[in-house]
């Protein structure tokens, strides 16, 4: 409550919201806090406070409005909900990914259009083509489009002079460079954050717990899907159980057979990929030969149509070969679903990579050298345009044949097949491939993103319709979030890096066309920067830019140093990770140990409760036991000590008689004291039995003792409870050590449990300290005059031997002792002795147990 | 306290915004949906409750295997009959909304899964949970042996202190290691 009041309004709102209470309770708390605040404020009422309060309220309202507005603006909110509701979050991943890529392309289009195309159009608005529009251009991208702003060739290398200078060369270069760099950074950051979230924290061992505790998709709303999911989950569970049972039974020939199938399918798929790559390469060369036979001027319609051959074949291969891969995948036997998916993904990536690699090789090494008269960049741009368009067509065909026809066959002809599943992995790879084409093409055809935007928009609705009409939800739901991370990673690693290196290679090493495009007349595209810097040198006041260029961008030493630093940082982080892993292992072990201790103590406690009526035998048994296991290690000793303490407590509460423990508290550990106390208690016990000849009296004394003990325990519990609450306030009573521990744990983003455990341990430590207090107090009691009085009382009682009087006497003695104890408590408390090192563990255990009980009760 | 079923005034709305993770539109939508469920004769009563069977007619909850548990957990009714008033209903939506923290979500998930309300997930709870998740006809259900093995597996993986039950912190530990949870523990109107 106090914490809440002292917080700022924003934090306070958040804290209240995070309470896991019912709404009404939250409201009550909030009102209380607000009331408290207004009372406080009335004391120190100033116009400034009011103003700031109003301002913060205003900003908060603004924040709410913004949040609402953002949600309203969010693209396809309803559609996404519908898909998630019917097919679950793993299929939703595909659509999220599609949306994400679409945003990339919109950004790229806006940037390119406004920084490259608009200036050109302003400068020279009437770029007209010599060829008439014939319709086929939509597919080929050639003909009419060749000399439009669509391609590299149409851009000018001049500097605009409308009031301000605008260098089109530089604009072209920097726009694309900045876009690529921004893409890279975005990818790296989203990859890193999603990796951190989805991989680092994930525990690979907990599959069945995960399946049951966290995999249920609450957003699924359709009845059919729910039953389907239930069935799927049941099948999965059964399979995983039988797999676990079966794993050991696999014989050597079976293993060999499986291995052989794996090897075979890898070989075949690699051969397929290589075959595809080689055939595409020869096809390209053949097409090149055809082109070189063309005369100058406009190509005929047939010639133009011939250019469609390569994209057609490439897209066809991209459609068909993955089907073979899926077939292999069905033949192979995988121990778990994940490795199956990963194998499929790897093979597909391999295929796409080699196809794209061959095409790029062909463009870079043959097209770029071929025709000095023609604009080779535009030709590459056209080729990419065709690929993009054909890829789109084949994606549509794919969803028609793969999903619609398959559904018709599955539901009408072969009932056994059923509706097809939506293959998230394959579809996402298609998207990645499409996006890579757009990235490569951005240098050659700056407006390609516009085509891409259209393509993705249509694809989104197409896939949505196809999904809802034809498909059933995937039978197995993998970890959707992890798959998403892998997709982002794939998008980055082979594909984006490949695209950027091709664009980079083009800019650094290839000769731009001499007659067209913004870089005509230069040896390399990059020399545009050199020319610019040369121009800058003559200008005053731009020395810093030249210096940066000379000393940073162009110096190898700089990059070397940067690389070294990054490597160093990586190494440090690696070491940190290793250390933390070790730490986590240790902490886990500790939790297990504590759990064992806890259960042991609970057992013990239960036994004590059960054996209460026959306590004397029990105690003597304990006494006998205590001598044997002291050899068997520390933990036994701890237990013994615990027992001892309990006994000692009992004894002390009942008799309070003359146990004069050495008052040398500071040196002897609590453990020792406990042991001592116990021995004394035992002795006392024996004493007592020897001396108390009258059985009824001893019995009643015992029952009194029990009562007293219970009361003492109750007090203790209360005390602990209070303490616990007190310690919840982290600023008041947390020791430096535990804070450091916590901070470290938080830094390493270890799990909630760890922190909770840590917090509990902290509480335990505190509790331990408090226990020490109690003990000290006990010591004090025992050495105080109360002891003497109690002794007297008891002696008297023994002399007078009748049962009733003994009871009375003991009662009196106890009361006195309690009073004394209360006084002593007051004395001891302010001293607050230092925590007694290792022995605090035992006490902490007890305290924790009690805390646990408290918690359970509270819950 | 509480809203009349027929309208929401502005102060109420901002209070709801402050205390839940919902946006204005979501609260208004929730209110609309809630009012549709309120029986005619009670529409002007302050703070009226909808009985559980009516709440469960909402398509968002209808087919959820935990729908009754959800109602019971979020209900503040004294008779524990799972009936919800508007505050409870918002509370429910808030916990299942996109912006609720992992802490809140896991807390409520734990309570939903804790069928006997004893504060830990014991074997009995886990068994019920498995039945809810795989539920179906008797012949396809898991055999007792499979069930036992499955629960053993769960306990082995998530019961860190080996006391035979999964308590809240252990549960949150498991949850914190499964990033999908936040996106799947979601009900949107």
CA distance, residue A201 to nearest chain B CA (Å): 5
For residue B35, the enclosing domain spans 5-95
Q: Do B148 and B108 sit in the same domain of this protein?
A: yes
Question: Helix, strand, coil: what percent of chain B each, to 5?
Answer: 55, 5, 40
3-state DSSP call for residue A161? strand
- Is position B167 within any domain? yes
Task: Indicate the pLDDT class of residue A599, thresholds 50, 70 and 90.
Answer: confident
- Work out the burial of residue A851: count CB atoms within 10 Å of its CB; fewer than 13 is exposed, 13-18 middle, 19 or more buried: buried
Residue count (chain A): 859
Separation in Å, CA B167 to CA A590, A859, B120, B124, B157 = 17, 11, 5, 13, 13
Separation in Å, CA B74 to CA A14, A21, A51, A839, B119 = 20, 9, 38, 44, 16
User: Cβ atoms within 10 A of the Cβ of A548, count?
Assistant: 12
More confident residue, A405 or A72: A405
For residue A369, which of A527, A499, A506, A501 has the smallest C-alpha distance? A506
More confident residue, A574 or A292: A574
Tell me how far apart the alpha carbons of residues A819 and A744 are, in angstroms, rounded to a whole number.
45
- Structural tokens at position A445: 């055809």
Separation in Å, CA A849 to CA A836, A842, B116 = 19, 11, 23
More confident residue, A220 or A679: A220
State which of A130-139, A602-611, A792-801 shows the largest mean pLDDT. A602-611
So what's the pLDDT on residue A852?
54
CA distance, residue A138 to nearest chain B CA (Å): 41
DSSP readout, A410-423?
IIII-TTT-SPBP-
The minimal CB distance from B178 to the residues A22, A210, A220 is found for A210
Q: How far is CA A502 from the centre of its chain?
A: 33
Tell me how far apart the alpha carbons of residues A745 and A738 are, in angstroms, rounded to a whole number.
10
- Is position B189 within any domain? no
So what's the pLDDT on residue B24?
82
Residue A674 above 50 pLDDT? no
Crossing angle for the helix pair A556-610 and A634-654, nearest 10 degrees?
A: 50
Note the pLDDT tens digit of each residue in A424-448: 888 899 999 999 999 999 999 999 9
What chain A residue is nearest to B100 in terms of C-alpha separation?
Answer: A18
Contact B154 A209 (CB under 8 A): yes
Among A120-124, A666-670, B104-108, B172-176, where is mean pLDDT lowest?
Answer: A666-670
Q: Do B19 and B81 sit in the same domain of this protein?
A: yes
Interface probe for B, chosen from A221, A584, A753 (most Cβ of B below 10 Å), is A753
* Spatial CB neighbours of A174, under 8 Å, sequence gap ≥ 6: none
Tell me how far apart the alpha carbons of residues A88 and A284 are, in angstroms, rounded to a whole number.
43
Q: Which residues of B26-38 are buried (b: 16+ CB within 10 A; e: fewer)?
A: bbeebbeebbeeb
> Where are chain A's structural domains?
1-42, 88-203+219-293+301-514
Tell me how far apart the alpha carbons of residues B102 and B112 are, in angstroms, rounded to a whole number.
15
Interface probe for A, chosen from B16, B77, B153 (most Cβ of A below 10 Å), is B153
Tell me how far apart the alpha carbons of residues A223 and A5 are, in angstroms, rounded to a whole number.
47
Contact A592 B24 (CB under 8 A): no
So what's the pLDDT on residue A452?
93
Task: Provide the domain count of chain B.
Answer: 2
Q: Domain boundary at B33, B62, B95, which?
A: B95
Task: Match 């008779």 to its residue by tokens.
Answer: B79
> Could you report the predicted ipTM of this complex, rounded to two decimals?
0.82
Task: Match 């982080």 to its residue by tokens.
Answer: A573
So what's the pLDDT on residue A130?
62
Task: Match 């008041």 to its residue by tokens.
Answer: A732
- Is position B141 within any domain? yes
Q: Do B39 and B80 sit in the same domain of this protein?
A: yes
Task: Indicate the pLDDT class of residue A186, thresholds 50, 70 and 90.
Answer: very high
* Spatial CB neighbours of A107, under 8 Å, sequence gap ≥ 6: A179
Tell me how far apart the alpha carbons of residues A307 and A288 are, in angstroms, rounded to a whole number.
10
So what's the pLDDT on residue A460?
93
More confident residue, A535 or A186: A186
3-state DSSP call for residue A312? helix
What chain B residue is nearest to A223 in terms of C-alpha separation?
Answer: B63
Tell me how far apart the alpha carbons of residues A171 and A115 are, in angstroms, rounded to a whole number.
7
Tell me how far apart the alpha carbons of residues A292 and B151 are, in angstroms, rounded to a whole number.
72
Task: Match 């109420």 to its residue by tokens.
Answer: B12
In chain A, % of residues over pLDDT 70: 61
Residue A784 above 70 pLDDT? no
Q: Domain boundary at B95, B110, B143, which?
A: B95
Collect all residues of chain A within an 8 Å Cβ-Cβ radius of residue B153: 208-209, 244
Tell me how far apart the alpha carbons of residues A96 and A463 are, in angstroms, rounded to a whole number.
13
* Spatial CB neighbours of B79, under 8 Å, sequence gap ≥ 6: none
State which of A288-297, A649-658, B63-72 shows the largest mean pLDDT. B63-72
- 3-state SS of B118-130 is CCEECHHHHHHHH
Give the mean pLDDT of A172-190: 92
Cβ-Cβ contacts under 8 Å between A and B: the total is: 218
Task: Match 């070491």 to its residue by tokens.
Answer: A575
The minimal CB distance from B133 to the residues A207, A230, A753 is found for A230
So what's the pLDDT on residue A753?
43
So what's the pLDDT on residue A643?
55
What chain A residue is nearest to B125 in terms of C-alpha separation?
Answer: A213
State the sign of the Cα–Cα–Cα–Cα dihedral A658, A661, A665, A671.
negative
What chain A residue is nearest to B114 in terms of C-alpha separation?
Answer: A213
Tell me how far apart the alpha carbons of residues A820 and A800 are, in angstroms, rounded to a whole number.
25
Beta pairing partners, A261: none
The answer to whether the CB of B177 falls within 8 A of the CB of B106 is no
Give the mean pLDDT of A651-658: 42
Tell me how far apart the alpha carbons of residues A588 and A754 are, in angstroms, rounded to a whole number.
8
- Identify the segments of chain B with pLDDT beneath 50: 1-5
So what's the pLDDT on residue A517?
82
- Is position B37 within any domain? yes
The minimal CB distance from B24 to the residues A68, A89, A217 is found for A68
Q: How far is CA A592 from the centre of its chain?
A: 25
What chain B residue is nearest to A202 in terms of C-alpha separation?
Answer: B177
The CATH number covering residue B63 comes to: 1.10.238.10
Give the mean pLDDT of A536-544: 78
More confident residue, A651 or A501: A501
- Structural tokens at position A734: 């947390």
The answer to whether the CB of B120 falls within 8 A of the CB of B165 is yes
- Is position B163 within any domain? yes
Note the pLDDT tens digit of each residue in A350-373: 999 999 999 999 988 888 777 666
Give the mean pLDDT of A599-611: 88
So what's the pLDDT on residue A843?
52
Q: Do B42 and B123 sit in the same domain of this protein?
A: no
The answer to whether the CB of B72 falls within 8 A of the CB of B59 is no
Region of A801 on the Ramachandran plot (φ > 0 left; ψ -120 to 50 alpha; else beta)? left
Q: What does pLDDT average to over chain A?
A: 72
So what's the pLDDT on residue A766?
52
End-to-end Cα separation, chain B, in angstroms: 24
- Structural tokens at position A556: 């190898």
End-to-end Cα separation, chain A, in angstroms: 20
DSSP readout, A571-622?
HHHHHHHHHHHHHHHHHHHHHHHHHHHHHHHHHHHHHHHHTSTTHHHHHHHH
So what's the pLDDT on residue A846?
57
Q: Do B142 and B72 sit in the same domain of this protein?
A: no
Task: Indicate the pLDDT class of residue A756, thresholds 50, 70 and 90.
Answer: very low
Residue count (chain B): 189
The answer to whether the CB of B11 falls within 8 A of the CB of A30 is no
Among A268-272, A462-466, A731-735, B133-137, where is mean pLDDT lowest?
Answer: A731-735
Tell me how far apart the alpha carbons of residues B5 and B31 are, in angstroms, rounded to a whole number.
8
So what's the pLDDT on residue A533?
84
The answer to whether the CB of A287 falls within 8 A of the CB of A310 is yes
Residue A692 above 70 pLDDT? no
Residue A796 above 70 pLDDT? no
- In A196-336, which ranges are continuous DSSP H helix? 207-213, 223-246, 252-293, 301-306, 309-331
Q: Do B177 and B142 sit in the same domain of this protein?
A: yes
Task: Indicate the pLDDT class of residue A813, thresholds 50, 70 and 90.
Answer: very low
């Amino acid at each position: 409550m106090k914490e809440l009041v002292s917080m700022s309004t924003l934090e306070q709102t958040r804290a209240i919201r995070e309470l896991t209470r019912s709404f009404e309770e939250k409201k009550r708390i909030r009102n209380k806090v607000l009331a408290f605040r207004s009372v406080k404020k009335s004391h120190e009422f100033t116009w400034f406070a009011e103003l700031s309060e109003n301002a913060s309220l205003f900003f908060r309202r603004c924040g709410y409005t913004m949040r609402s507005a953002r949600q309203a603006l969010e693209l396809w909110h309803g559609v996404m909900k519908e898909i998630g509701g019917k097919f679950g979050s793993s299929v939703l991943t595909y659509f999220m990914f599609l949306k994400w890529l679409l945003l990339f392309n919109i950004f790229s289009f806006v940037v390119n259009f406004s920084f490259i195309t608009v200036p050109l159009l302003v400068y020279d608005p009437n770029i007209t083509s010599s060829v008439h529009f014939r319709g086929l251009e939509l597919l080929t991208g050639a003909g009419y489009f060749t000399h439009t702003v669509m391609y590299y060739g149409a851009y000018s290398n001049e500097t605009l002079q409308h009031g301000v200078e605008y260098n089109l060369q530089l604009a072209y270069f920097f726009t694309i460079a900045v876009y690529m760099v921004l893409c890279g950074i975005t990818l790296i950051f989203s990859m890193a954050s999603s990796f951190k979230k989805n991989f680092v924290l994930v525990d690979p061992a907990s599959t069945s717990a995960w399946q049951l505790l966290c995999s249920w998709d609450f957003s699924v709303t359709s009845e059919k899907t729910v039953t389907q999911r239930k069935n799927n989950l049941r099948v999965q569970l059964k399979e995983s159980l039988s797999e676990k049972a079966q794993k050991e039974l696999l014989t050597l020939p079976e293993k060999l057979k499986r291995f052989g199938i794996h090897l075979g399918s890898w070989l075949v798929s690699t051969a397929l990929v290589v075959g595809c790559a080689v055939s595409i390469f020869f096809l390209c060369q053949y097409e090149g030969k055809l082109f070189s036979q063309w005369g100058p001027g406009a190509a005929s319609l047939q010639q133009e149509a011939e250019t469609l051959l390569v994209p057609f074949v490439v897209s066809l291969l991209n459609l068909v070969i993955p089907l073979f891969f899926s077939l292999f995948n069905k033949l192979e036997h995988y121990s778990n679903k994940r490795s199956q998916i990963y194998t499929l993904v790897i093979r597909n990536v391999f295929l796409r990579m080699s196809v794209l690699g061959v095409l790029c090789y062909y463009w870079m090494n043959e097209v770029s050298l071929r025709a000095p008269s023609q604009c080779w960049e535009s030709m590459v741009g056209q080729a990419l345009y065709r690929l993009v368009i054909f890829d789109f067509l084949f994606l549509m065909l794919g969803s028609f044949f793969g999903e619609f026809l398959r559904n018709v066959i599955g539901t009408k002809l072969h009932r056994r097949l059923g509706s097809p599943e939506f293959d998230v992995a394959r579809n996402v790879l298609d998207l990645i491939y499409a996006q890579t084409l757009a990235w490569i093409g951005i240098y050659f055809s700056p407006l390609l993103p516009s085509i891409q935007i259209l393509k993705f928009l249509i694809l989104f609705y197409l896939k949505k319709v196809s999904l809802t009409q034809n498909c059933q939800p995937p039978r197995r739901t993998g970890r959707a979030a992890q798959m998403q991370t892998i997709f982002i990673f794939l998008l980055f690693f082979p594909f984006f890096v490949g695209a950027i290196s091709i664009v980079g290679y083009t800019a650094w090493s290839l000769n731009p066309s001499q007659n067209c495009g913004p870089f005509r007349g230069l040896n390399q595209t990059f020399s545009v920067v050199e020319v610019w810097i040369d121009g800058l040198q003559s200008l005053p006041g731009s020395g810093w830019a030249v210096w940066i260029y000379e000393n940073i961008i162009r110096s190898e030493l700089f990059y070397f140093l940067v690389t070294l630093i990054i490597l160093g940082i990586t190494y440090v982080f690696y070491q940190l990770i290793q250390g933390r892993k070790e730490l986590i292992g240790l902490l886990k072990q500790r939790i297990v140990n504590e759990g064992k201790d806890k259960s042991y103590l609970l057992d013990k406690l239960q036994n004590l409760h059960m054996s209460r009526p026959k306590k004397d035998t029990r105690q003597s048994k304990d006494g006998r036991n205590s001598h044997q296991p002291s050899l068997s290690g520390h933990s036994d000793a701890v237990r013994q000590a615990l027992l001892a303490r309990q006994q000692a407590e009992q004894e002390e509460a009942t008799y309070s008689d003359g146990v004069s423990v050495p008052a040398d508290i500071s040196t002897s550990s609590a453990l020792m004291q406990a042991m001592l106390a116990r021995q004394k208690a035992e002795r006392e016990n024996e004493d007592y039995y020897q001396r108390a000849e009258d059985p009824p009296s001893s019995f009643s004394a015992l029952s009194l003792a029990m009562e007293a003990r219970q009361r003492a325990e109750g007090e203790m519990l209360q005390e602990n409870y209070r303490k616990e609450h007190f310690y919840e306030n982290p600023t008041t009573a947390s020791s430096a050590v535990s804070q450091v521990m916590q901070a470290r744990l938080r830094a390493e983003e270890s799990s909630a449990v760890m922190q909770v455990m840590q917090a509990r341990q902290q509480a335990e430590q505190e509790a331990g300290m408090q226990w020490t207090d109690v003990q000290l107090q006990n010591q004090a009691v025992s050495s105080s005059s109360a002891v003497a009085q109690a002794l007297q009382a008891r002696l008297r009682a023994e002399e007078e031997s009748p049962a009733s009087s003994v009871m009375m006497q003991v009662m009196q003695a106890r009361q006195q002792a309690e009073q004394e104890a209360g006084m002593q408590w007051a004395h001891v408390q302010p001293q607050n002795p230092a925590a007694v090192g290792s022995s605090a563990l035992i006490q902490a255990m007890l305290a924790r147990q009690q805390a646990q009980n408290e918690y359970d009760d509270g819950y | 306290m509480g809203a009349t079923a027929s309208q929401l005034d502005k102060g109420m709305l901002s209070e709801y915004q402050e205390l839940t993770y919902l946006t204005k539109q979501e609260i208004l939508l929730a209110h609309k949906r809630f009012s549709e469920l309120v029986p005619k004769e009670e529409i002007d009563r302050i703070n009226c409750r909808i009985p559980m069977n009516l709440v469960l007619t909402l398509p968002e909850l209808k087919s959820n295997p935990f729908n009754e548990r959800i109602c019971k957990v979020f209900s503040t009714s004294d008779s524990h009959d799972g009936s919800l008033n508007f505050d409870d209903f918002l509370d429910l939506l808030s916990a299942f909304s996109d912006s609720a923290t992992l802490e809140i979500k896991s807390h409520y998930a734990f309570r939903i899964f804790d069928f006997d309300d004893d504060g830990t997930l014991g074997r009995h709870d886990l068994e019920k949970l498995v039945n809810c998740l795989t539920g179906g006809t008797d012949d396809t259900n898991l055999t007792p042996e499979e069930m036992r093995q499955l629960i053993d597996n769960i306990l082995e993986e998530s019961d860190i202190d080996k006391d035979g039950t999964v308590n809240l912190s252990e549960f949150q530990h498991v949850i914190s290691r499964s990033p999908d949870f936040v996106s799947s523990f979601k009900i949107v109107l």
